[in-house]
A and B are shown apart, each in its own frame.
Chain A
């Protein structure tokens, strides 16, 4: 249990070393070979504290601002290549998460650098006779697969956006995400990092050598801190992005672009409830924009909110920086940074103001600003008062001493969580006191997601709706059913055969403009269509991933056909767009008799035994450690679901755990202790609203397609 808390497991010495290492890491601002070499040396000389150092490094990569992620990753790269074990073991454990979390938050050039680095991890360390790769394939491959999917989703969504914009249709090189097709920045050499690693290891550990060969800072600046146009183009923003935008089409594009990003993030990290929630809200917002007429003020407001959500480099830093080249970098206007993910230490919630801070922050301090501020403070160096004011316009009128206090109180902590920051802001009179938990009204609906420190798009949408900018959001329809609207009626007569009816084509083509580029299948432009397409792409990805796994393909065999009863009871559905839950519901609807055929007789409504529960394995995740008994879980292939699943599993607090463990925990006498231990390790969000484990289990329902309640369709075995 303590091993799962951020700092608990480190011994005293380890803590010291780790803190040293951490401090040096925080000083690392760019691709400085000397500093990277130094950090590598520290790591090499302290292999007995490898676990603590690895943890600090991972935390740093996760929490540091996007432009600093790549240098930090280079530290990781240098350590695993030049020191090797045990760092490869410790860093390998969370490499997928470490890499993907960073990848989703950095710009296109940085992504390419990361891809180059990833490639070298499959190869043996240069200059060493041993032929084993830097990281074993089973660590690298899931990342590669996730990247393939990430790109697919990006390109797909970009196409979807373009499909609605005829002006882009005939452009030979349409704007792409990630800057993939954007003109490379004017740097002379795209020299990959591993080139230096090679020479470093050949030369022994001479840091001077690193310094000799280091990139010119300006080259790094140009490459990583790419100027605004490069980042805007990937987002699909047109060139006029420099001006304030309130043109509807632009806003729609921006919303689509941000939605696409969230989709990709969601794809890379499907258990991140916040991303999912934001994605849902964005899709809703898209539909609202399609169906409602908004005035300029409202549009501007939407634009501001969307800009706040766009993933981008950190907020402006107008003051001169220690690094000489730093001032060359000009951040894109009006796109503040998405803050790094953080998990709040449980201790934050034992303090008196334990209520979720969403109400005050929504009204007083813009949530994006809060996040920006947080990221600024998390950067390690103390931001100036103007910086803090720029990051949070609500602090425009705050005095220098107020800000200075906040900054001092928070920047001493290794990671800054929203609650601490809010507490500090409150303490210094910059925020009104928070209501206590007794007076905080509970969310009205039980299905509402747990409150988060950062206000989600759903909240934004809700507040927009509340302020009468939009009408109430229409209820999204459930499983898509054939639309019988506006289809021409064609009588069954010979006379109707000869007339060409383009309306019939409209239903097949035009009304479903979003085409899958893999199989050609089309989807409507509606929210439901987009969601279906996202699921469909995910299906392609998972399928390809499984098919690439030769061990699965090699053993495949054809099933027996089903008998008459099985076939009659079988409910056909498209596994690429229909969730297991929908299918179960459909079966419950249609196969109400419950007679069932073969193995699929169990009804959807019946409470399933723990062993029958499963969770679809997120892409690339083949193993998982149960947070309750810390035993390893391995994914298996479910023929029924045509997918990889963890059996005997449920999702609890965003983590996959044994269903039996969860059940045991709920029944057990030490219910309270176990539950709080679990929740402490899982992050405090659940705790805030309800400490009962039931709410965590209840989440399973909301997990929808991911946590299958059992698509107990008749099995053709």
Chain B
């Protein structure tokens, strides 16, 4: 069942790709290991692209990456990452391999602030534990423009909480970057085991052993590049997520006391909508603390809106957190590679936890496929229809001939290379709201659409077929031509 003769676009390139050695870092560079002594409360910043291999080892002292402490004398390998090894007590590092940039950062006041935020959350958790029938632990919303370190802050807060014995729940509201799921997801996870230095939150459940314990997310489908594409759908997905998360926290005292932290895309920083989506999250998740990063205006606006005198009894603290000096913009190419990597790893796993995807060929008649219409989908369709049209301005949706958000479609070549969400709801479902809100069981990759024989070949993570379930695809993530490369 494992991929017999699967003609995945680009799959054939795998071996030659590896053989060509284009991913193998410069051997000479790798051999010259160098040492760096870091004073207390400084950090080693590095940007490593997806073709590079960068290795860091702690020779003495202690250090952490996004709040996750490194073990002494263990080599940690990085690729496709922009990060900083921070030390509270000072340390000596051994570094080898290649990076686009690497330097010692001494401006690290942000770290003290982040640790204090952790202290605030700990205080709130302790209080929650001593008042069993109270509102539970801290419920934190993190907002700010893109690339200001929101995810890094959240990962640090999560790692510290777990190290202190809590099981915080993390919600990722940014569909561009998945959390334990491919892009195009809105997911939530209660973190009950340690994070990994190299892999962050790690891996969702698989059938075999894993280097670090698996973490099981709840996944919804958000096939849009930004909340602004479909603000109302985005909000309804948030509502649905909030419902599940709230229920979960009520089920489990430790999770309730540990609280939750919500990551958001930069697009929520939207004064024109009067921060409507921010307000929606605050109310749906009963947010008790807002952290803003990277924008003074955003901070002032939110203080006025949620913390000022007009907020009255519902006032919640809004704190402006210093963005790390090392926070680096991720350009479009980096983001694209990151997304492709996430999709690839969903099916094939990582080098440490390799997985076997499976191929399923299913007749049109046995499929119930919905298309989530959106601006990004229209753009994608238009650009593929008129390849030489370099004008990528906003295009009206008329060419799709539909104003429906979700539309039942017959499989077509347009799906090729796309990720299709397999929903828990039945294929016979006719209610658009049910299609929209149903959680995701998994994603399948469309590797071939045979319109003559009327069948679709999917790449699926699981050997079992998914039976009669609704499948949904949309404009995001973009088609992946070379899933393996």
Chain A residues at the B interface, C-beta cutoff of 8 Å: 480-484, 487-494, 496-501, 504-505, 507-509, 512, 515-522, 542-543, 546-547, 552-564, 567-576, 590-591, 637, 639, 642, 716
Q: Check: B445 CB closer than 8 A to any chain A CB.
A: no
A243 to chain B, nearest CB (A): 33
Query: A547 touching B209 by the CB < 8 A rule?
Result: yes
- B251 partner, pick from A496, A522, A562, A591, beta carbons under 8 A: A591
Residues facing A in B199-227 (CB within 8 A) are 204-219
A–B Cβ pairs within 8 angstroms, 7 of them: A504-B115, A509-B62, A520-B74, A554-B356, A557-B357, A561-B219, A572-B190
- B129 partner, pick from A484, A508, A509, beta carbons under 8 A: A484
Query: B166 touching A482 by the CB < 8 A rule?
Result: yes
Given contacts A516-B71, A518-B74, A520-B197, contact A642 B218 (CB under 8 A): no
- Taking CB atoms, residues of chain A closer than 8 Å to B194 are 519, 521, 574
- Taking CB atoms, residues of chain A closer than 8 Å to B117 are 497
- Taking CB atoms, residues of chain A closer than 8 Å to B89 are 509
Query: B209 touching A546 by the CB < 8 A rule?
Result: yes
Given contacts A492-B120, A520-B68, A520-B197, contact A564 B462 (CB under 8 A): no
Rounded to whole angstroms, the CA-CA distance of A229 and B167 in the bound complex is 47
- B115 partner, pick from A501, A576, A639, beta carbons under 8 A: A501
Query: B119 touching A504 by the CB < 8 A rule?
Result: yes
Rounded to whole angstroms, the CA-CA distance of A187 and B180 in the bound complex is 56
- The digit string for B113-125, where 1 denotes a CB below 8 A from any CB of A, is 1011111101111
A19 to chain B, nearest CB (A): 47
- A517 partner, pick from B73, B191, B253, beta carbons under 8 A: B73
Query: B317 touching A492 by the CB < 8 A rule?
Result: yes
Query: A558 touching B346 by the CB < 8 A rule?
Result: yes
B321 to chain A, nearest CB (A): 7
Q: Which partner residue on chain A sits nearest B441 by CB separation?
A: A560
**Stretch in B8-16, B21-29, B157-165 touching the partner:** B157-165
Q: Check: B35 CB closer than 8 A to any chain A CB.
A: no
Q: Which of A499, A558, A559, A716 has the most CB of B within 10 A?
A: A558
B194 to chain A, nearest CB (A): 5
Q: Check: B192 CB closer than 8 A to any chain A CB.
A: yes
A642 to chain B, nearest CB (A): 7
Q: Which partner residue on chain A sits nearest B250 by CB separation?
A: A568
- Other A-B pairs, 5, CB within 8 Å; known A497-B113, A521-B194, A642-B213: A508-B164, A509-B62, A553-B354, A556-B356, A572-B193
Query: A561 touching B126 by the CB < 8 A rule?
Result: no
Given contacts A497-B319, A517-B71, A553-B354, contact A561 B253 (CB under 8 A): no
Q: Which partner residue on chain B sits nearest A524 by CB separation?
A: B165
Rounded to whole angstroms, the CA-CA distance of A492 and B124 in the bound complex is 9
Query: A556 touching B216 by the CB < 8 A rule?
Result: no
Q: Check: B289 CB closer than 8 A to any chain A CB.
A: yes
Query: A517 touching B72 by the CB < 8 A rule?
Result: yes
Query: A561 touching B116 by the CB < 8 A rule?
Result: no
Query: B116 touching A499 by the CB < 8 A rule?
Result: yes
Q: Check: B442 CB closer than 8 A to any chain A CB.
A: yes
Rounded to whole angstroms, the CA-CA distance of A431 and B355 in the bound complex is 65
Q: Check: B329 CB closer than 8 A to any chain A CB.
A: no
Given contacts A482-B164, A498-B113, A567-B244, contact A552 B126 (CB under 8 A): no
Rounded to whole angstroms, the CA-CA distance of A115 and B311 in the bound complex is 72
- B248 partner, pick from A521, A552, A555, A567, beta carbons under 8 A: A567
- A519 partner, pick from B88, B116, B212, beta carbons under 8 A: B212
- B320 partner, pick from A481, A489, A494, A516, beta carbons under 8 A: A494
- Taking CB atoms, residues of chain B closer than 8 Å to A567 are 188, 216-218, 244, 248, 439
Query: B208 touching A555 by the CB < 8 A rule?
Result: yes
Q: Check: B473 CB closer than 8 A to any chain A CB.
A: no
Q: Which partner residue on chain A sits nearest B196 by CB separation?
A: A519
User: What is the predominant secondary structure among interface residues of chain A facing chain B?
Assistant: loop
B107 to chain A, nearest CB (A): 14
Query: A482 touching B357 by the CB < 8 A rule?
Result: no
Q: Check: B461 CB closer than 8 A to any chain A CB.
A: yes
- Taking CB atoms, residues of chain B closer than 8 Å to A576 are 193, 213
Interface magnitude class on chain B: 35 or more
Query: B439 touching A490 by the CB < 8 A rule?
Result: no
Rounded to whole angstroms, the CA-CA distance of A553 and B353 in the bound complex is 8
Query: A561 touching B442 by the CB < 8 A rule?
Result: yes
Q: Which of A487, A520, A553, A590 has the most CB of B within 10 A?
A: A520
Q: Check: B255 CB closer than 8 A to any chain A CB.
A: yes
Q: Which of B69, B119, B193, B254 has the most CB of A within 10 A?
A: B119
Rounded to whole angstroms, the CA-CA distance of A671 and B442 in the bound complex is 51
- Taking CB atoms, residues of chain A closer than 8 Å to B461 are 557-560
Query: B356 touching A568 by the CB < 8 A rule?
Result: no
- Taking CB atoms, residues of chain B closer than 8 Å to A504 are 115-116, 118-119, 122
A716 to chain B, nearest CB (A): 5
Rounded to whole angstroms, the CA-CA distance of A473 and B219 in the bound complex is 48
Q: Which partner residue on chain B sits nearest A519 by CB separation?
A: B71
Rounded to whole angstroms, the CA-CA distance of A573 and B73 in the bound complex is 28
Given contacts A484-B129, A487-B126, A516-B71, contact A573 B319 (CB under 8 A): no
Query: B122 touching A543 by the CB < 8 A rule?
Result: no
Rounded to whole angstroms, the CA-CA distance of A267 and B194 in the bound complex is 23
Query: A490 touching B164 by the CB < 8 A rule?
Result: no
A508 to chain B, nearest CB (A): 6
Query: B210 touching A543 by the CB < 8 A rule?
Result: yes
Query: B72 touching A543 by the CB < 8 A rule?
Result: no
Q: Which 3 A-B pairs have the closest CB atoms?
A: A572-B192, A556-B208, A490-B119
Given contacts A520-B74, A567-B244, contact A482 B320 (CB under 8 A): no
Q: Which partner residue on chain A sits nearest B185 by CB separation?
A: A561
Rounded to whole angstroms, the CA-CA distance of A500 and B210 in the bound complex is 37
A37 to chain B, nearest CB (A): 45
Query: B116 touching A501 by the CB < 8 A rule?
Result: yes
Q: Check: B266 CB closer than 8 A to any chain A CB.
A: no
A377 to chain B, nearest CB (A): 46
Query: A558 touching B462 by the CB < 8 A rule?
Result: yes
- B209 partner, pick from A496, A518, A543, A568, beta carbons under 8 A: A543
Query: B211 touching A547 by the CB < 8 A rule?
Result: yes
Given contacts A543-B210, A546-B209, A561-B439, contact A556 B119 (CB under 8 A): no
- B130 partner, pick from A484, A500, A505, beta carbons under 8 A: A484
Rounded to whole angstroms, the CA-CA distance of A484 and B188 in the bound complex is 26
Rounded to whole angstroms, the CA-CA distance of A498 and B207 in the bound complex is 46
Q: Which partner residue on chain B sits nearest A516 by CB separation?
A: B71
Query: B208 touching A572 by the CB < 8 A rule?
Result: no
- Taking CB atoms, residues of chain A closer than 8 Å to B205 are 558-559, 639, 716
- Taking CB atoms, residues of chain A closer than 8 Å to B74 are 517-518, 520
Rounded to whole angstroms, the CA-CA distance of A494 and B209 in the bound complex is 44
Query: A572 touching B71 by the CB < 8 A rule?
Result: no
Query: B181 touching A561 by the CB < 8 A rule?
Result: yes
- Taking CB atoms, residues of chain B closer than 8 Å to A520 are 68-72, 74, 197
Rounded to whole angstroms, the CA-CA distance of A504 and B215 in the bound complex is 26
Given contacts A504-B119, A574-B192, contact A564 B244 (CB under 8 A): yes
B306 to chain A, nearest CB (A): 13
Q: Which partner residue on chain A sits nearest B358 by CB separation?
A: A557
A582 to chain B, nearest CB (A): 12
- Taking CB atoms, residues of chain B closer than 8 Å to A521 are 69, 163, 194
B426 to chain A, nearest CB (A): 13
Q: Check: B347 CB closer than 8 A to any chain A CB.
A: yes
Query: A590 touching B165 by the CB < 8 A rule?
Result: no
- B356 partner, pick from A483, A507, A555, A564, beta carbons under 8 A: A555
Query: A563 touching B424 by the CB < 8 A rule?
Result: yes
Rounded to whole angstroms, the CA-CA distance of A575 and B219 in the bound complex is 22
Q: Which of B122, B196, B209 has the most CB of A within 10 A?
A: B209
Query: B207 touching A556 by the CB < 8 A rule?
Result: yes
Q: Check: B80 CB closer than 8 A to any chain A CB.
A: no
B454 to chain A, nearest CB (A): 26
- Taking CB atoms, residues of chain A closer than 8 Å to B130 are 484
